[in-house]
Amino acid sequence: MTSPTLSIERLTIDLPAGADRQFAVHKCSYQILKGEILCVVGESGSGKSMTANALMGLLPSGVKVGAGRAMFGGKDILRLSEGDQRAMRGDRVAMIFQEPMTALNPLMRIGDQIAEVFAAHKRHSPAQRRARALELITEVGLPDPAKIIRAYPFQLSGGQRQRAMIAMALALEPELLIADEPTTALDVTTQAQILKLILDLRDRRGMAVMFITHDFGVVEEIADRVIVMRHGQIVEAGTAADVLQDPQHDYTKALLNAIPSGHVPQSAPVTNAPALQIKSLNKVYRTGGGFMKPPREVRAIDDISLTIAKGEVLGLVGESGSGKSTLGRAVVRLVTPDSGQILVGGTDMAALNDADLRAARHKVQMVFQDPYASLNPRHKIMRALTDGPIAKGVSKADAQARARELMEIVGLGAEAVDRFPHEFSGGQRQRIGIARALAMDPELIIADEAVSALDVSIQAQVLNLLRDLRARMNLSILFITHDLRVAAQLCDRIAVMQKGKLVEIGQTSEVFLRPQHGYTQKLLAAVPGGDWGKTG
């Protein structure tokens, strides 16, 4: 057995007084061997990122290492001087971050940013630095390296930026690469490519990788060993196969159960009258343009027609930029389409003028993605739930009674209406969002990435709630998501969008088991841990 690259012994990280718990990380011990990929898994707030930040000396102010050691190359890297730490960062330990959009300097060319890493550690002559940067860009598989080296970050896609970040991290051939949720912000197909790249690089260079993630699918894809963290403590550790196939701790089991599995429900065919009919809808965004220059056109919705029956859940899946959100917003008329019809219960939402539209608004309601931005921080829940019904003409007393009833239905209790949004967690806020939509007695609910911002166990609860409500109230839902597993759990039919076009629509089981379109097949193949999910 090779000696460990990094050995963490009884590490404790203290949180400042007044935080919701005393330790961010409590007495954690683990090792990463040379050439090994260790996945640190946990939900938000479990302390998984804090460990990585402590190793890099990047703890936020007020948070301190309390006790324990992290031995790396014979030294305790938690207690290095500022200068030694700087020398170590980038050189022997490198890190890649979650947000490729903000982790690169927007005003510097990619090549210069990579060369800067060499300059910071005083390696090579300027000419050699350029040459090395070019090699690295080639190595991480960016297309047309000679052009990329002169490109600015905004000219690259999310996946390309993450590749550039990885190139920077690899510049000085680190022994340890810390990756903090590097694929969370990326589309599935891009995520699959980045995971493959990290695996390749590990094989080629034999470096150790500490991979922080919340996604068990990703774990299945790349991990050699796994540790599961909860409330700052390690609840389970072991090889990837052991933890995934035969979890010991209840929390791990709960997490694994909460993952939307690949089990495809055999949905009953829906034969009811349509709740929503979209007929050849179009929306084109024009940007830039000006004197002598034609504007850039993006066809966000390109001649789309579809129908949702009463009581049906239609899943709308696609990668970012596919136009799925625009379609959702067009149905509620937050976006006005260029042409086409949106028929909700016989009314064409696309053709209404402002006053008629306001009167018809209640027919379609929306549940939003970001639970922290979707409730007005200055209004109590009661107001959030009653503003709409009162505007619609319901009496105040009735609206308030209904609000209390709805809060019971979504499982928060009637007395919660007198509280402010900041007193609720993300999952609870999402329940409030659902209650707000229901308060209007809509004919159709649009759920735009409604569970994407939530941890898996919370996600499972909200999905259960939606399923339950749908059975009880016979709701029609347009469920927009990028996550195919989630879509498979809830939806009767799935529609797949690519670049504004509807490429495939059909029964969930049909789409998942016998995808017709090439793009759908590609999407399904890219889902991390896809095989394990189906058999598990």
Partner 1 sequence: MSFWKRFSTNRGAVFGLILLFLVIAIALLAPFMFPRGPWAMVQRPFLAPFDAAGLYLGTDTLGRDVLSGLVYGARVSLLVGLISTVMALCIGVPLGALAGFYGGWVDECAMRFTEFFQTIPNFALAIVLVAILEPSLGSITLSIAIVSWPPVARLVRAEVMSVTKREYIDAARLAGLSNMKILIGQVLPNTVSPIIVMASLMVATAILLESSLSFLGLGDPNIMSWGYQVGAARTVIRTAWWLSFFPGLAIILTVLALNLIGEGLNDALNPHLSRKGRA
Q: How far is the CB of 218 from partner 1 (least distance, A)?
A: 28
Which of residues 379 and 404 has its CB atom nearest to partner 1 in the complex?
379
Quote the least distance from Cβ 388 to partner 1, whole Å. Answer: 3
Regarding 358 and contact with partner 1 (CB under 8 A), the answer is: yes
517 Cβ neighbours under 8 A, 6+ residues apart: 496, 503, 504
Pick between residue 387 and residue 510 the one whose CB is nearest to partner 1. 387
Among 1, 3, 18, 61, binds partner 1 (CB under 8 A): 61
Q: Which span (20-28, 37-45, 172-180, 358-366) binds partner 1, by CB under 8 A? A: 358-366
Label residue 370 exposed, middle or buried (CB < 10 Å: 0-12, 13-18, 19+): middle
Among the listed residues 199, 354, 203, the one whose alpha carbon sits nearest the alpha carbon of residue 211: 199
Which residue from 440, 478, 502, 527 is in contact with partner 1, where contact means CB under 8 A? Answer: 440
Report the nearest approach of partner 1 to the CB of residue 63 (Å). Answer: 13
Cβ closest to partner 1, residue 11 vs residue 350: 350
Separation in Å, CA 381 to CA 375, 396, 413, 436: 8, 15, 12, 9
Residue 2 or 425 with smaller CB distance to partner 1: 425
Single residue of 103, 197, 284, 359 touching partner 1 by CB under 8 A: 359
- Mapped onto helix, strand or coil, the DSSP state of residue 336 is coil
CB of 361 to partner 1, least distance (A): 4
Cβ burial 334-349 (10 Å sphere, 16+ → b, else e): ebebeebebbbbebeb
Interhelix angle 188-205/518-526, nearest 10 degrees: 50
Q: Pick the closest to residue 417 from 387, 381, 379, 378 (CA basis).
A: 381
Instruction: Report in angstroms how near the CB of residue 250 gets to partner 1 at its nearest.
Output: 35
Q: Rounded to an integer, what is the distance from CA 418 to the centroid of its chain?
A: 31
Question: Residue 8 CB, nearest distance to partner 1 (Å)?
Answer: 28
DSSP per-residue codes, 429-493: HHHHHHHHHHHT--SEEEEESTTTTS-HHHHHHHHHHHHHHHHHHT--EEEEES-HHHHHHH-SE
Q: Is 510 in the site for partner 1 (CB under 8 A)?
A: no
**Nearer Cβ to partner 1 (198/444):** 444
DSSP single-letter state for residue 19: S
Nearer to partner 1, 188 or 276 (CB): 276
Q: Which two tokens stand for residue 99?
A: 């947000």
318-337 binders of partner 1 (CB under 8 A): 332, 334
Query: Of 157, 211, 207, which is closest to residue 187 (Cα–Cα)?
Result: 157
SS3 425: coil
Region binding partner 1 by CB under 8 A among candidate stretches 168-176, 201-209, 359-367, 471-479: 359-367
Q: Could you tell me the smallest distance in angstroms from the CB atom of residue 496 to partner 1?
A: 25
CB of 61 to partner 1, least distance (A): 6
| Backbone angles phi and psi of 289, in degrees to 5 | 70, 170
* Both tokens assigned to 353: 């003028």
Q: Compute the least distance from the CB of residue 266 to partner 1, in Å.
A: 34
Cβ neighbours, 10 Å, residue 304 = 23
Place of tokens 């659902």: 434
CB of 273 to partner 1, least distance (A): 23
Under 8 Å CB-to-CB from 61, ≥6 apart: which residues?
Answer: none
Spatial separation of the C-alpha atoms in residues 351 and 349, rounded to whole Å: 6
Residue type at 232 in one-letter notation: G
Mask of contacts with partner 1, 18-57, x by CB under 8 A?
----------------------------------------
- In the complex with partner 1, the residue whose CB is nearer, 67 or 391, is 391
Least distance in Å: CB of 222 to partner 1?
Answer: 34
| Shortest Å, Cβ 82 to partner 1 | 18
By CB under 8 A, the residues from 360 to 419 that bind partner 1 are 361-362, 364-366, 368-370, 373-379, 384, 387-388, 391-392
Angle at CA of residue 168, ends 162 and 170, nearest 5°: 105
Q: Give the integer Cα–Cα distance in Å for 519 and 524.
A: 9
Which of 117/435 has CB closer to partner 1?
A: 435
Whole-angstrom distance, CA of residue 51 vs CA of residue 40: 10
Identity of the residue, 228 or 327, whose beta carbon is nearer to partner 1 in the bound complex: 327
Nearer residue to partner 1 within complex by CB, 332 or 477:
332
Closer to partner 1 by CB, 223 or 477: give it. Answer: 477
- Nearer to partner 1 by Cβ, of 145 and 421: the residue is 421
Contact set with partner 1 (CB under 8 A): 61, 332, 334, 358-359, 361-362, 364-366, 368-370, 373-379, 384, 387-388, 391-392, 433, 436, 440
